[in-house]
Amino acid sequence: MSEILDLVGIFVFALSGALMGVRKRLDMVGMAVLAEMTALGGGLARDLILNVRPAAFQSVGYVLVPVAATVIVFFWHPHVARVMPAILVLDAAGLGLFCAVGTEKAMVYGLSPLHAALLGVTTAVGGGMIRDVLAGEIPTLLYDRQLYAVPAMLGSAVMAGLSWAGWHGWPATLAAAVLAFGLRLAAMRRNWRAPLARGLGD
């Protein structure tokens, strides 16, 4: 079940990477690279920091799902763009899932709650950061004007706290993921923004 949820999150993140490729007028290879990096980059960074074999290299599905997303966007990107509101909801779900799972894995490997939470955020937003750098954009992590990283931070912090307190398994993961998901959805619907430095307007 956890792998299925992983693959769903990877698919949604890959769609956003491939769509970025379309906006940047990249060819299919460039779209595939952005899709793969968006979907897998955060998990790869997490596993390399933990010094374990990346999950992406343990199952062919982790590599093939972003390829499938690229093909879909390559042929039907106008239709995919039209259903972006639904994709953004799934993206928020993937964000919540990845930050919770990443934090839990880091705790299992003996990291402190603080470092585990940081690694959970890396898992959730690292792929998007790599995507933006490759596409020549300022990473959204550096101007979190749509409260994307903040929900991941909160979800990761809650997951680390629950794990530290002895709460493990899917109930703790679900609680942290739902919290991050809910905050992200609320930010999208209410147009919440992170504050700028004092004296700067929107």
**Spatial contact of 98 and 9, defined as CB atoms under 8 Å apart:** yes
Q: To the nearest whole percent, how much of the chain has pLDDT over 90? A: 55
Does residue 200 belong to any structural domain of this protein? no
Three-state DSSP state, 49: helix
Residue 54 has pLDDT above 70, yes or no: yes
**Spatial contact of 106 and 46, defined as CB atoms under 8 Å apart:** yes
Per-residue confidence (pLDDT) for residue 201, from 0 to 100: 61
Does residue 199 belong to any structural domain of this protein? no
Per-residue confidence (pLDDT) for residue 84, from 0 to 100: 77
Residue 40 has pLDDT above 60, yes or no: yes
Per-residue confidence (pLDDT) for residue 29, from 0 to 100: 96
Element (H, E) at 12: helix 2-23
Per-residue confidence (pLDDT) for residue 139, from 0 to 100: 84
**CA 60, 124, 35: angle at the middle one, nearest 5?**
45
The whole domain housing 106 covers 2-190
Does residue 202 belong to any structural domain of this protein? no
How many distinct structural domains can be found in the chain?
1
Residue 41 has pLDDT above 70, yes or no: yes
Does residue 137 belong to any structural domain of this protein? yes
Model-wide pTM > 0.75? yes
Does residue 195 belong to any structural domain of this protein? no
pLDDT band of 184, cuts 50, 70, 90: very high
Rounded mean pLDDT of 180-200?
Answer: 85
Does residue 201 belong to any structural domain of this protein? no
**Spatial contact of 19 and 72, defined as CB atoms under 8 Å apart:** no
Residue 123 has pLDDT above 90, yes or no: yes
Structure tokens at 47: 């596993």
Does residue 163 belong to any structural domain of this protein? yes
Does residue 60 belong to any structural domain of this protein? yes
Q: Residue 57, Cα to own-chain centre: how many angstroms?
A: 18
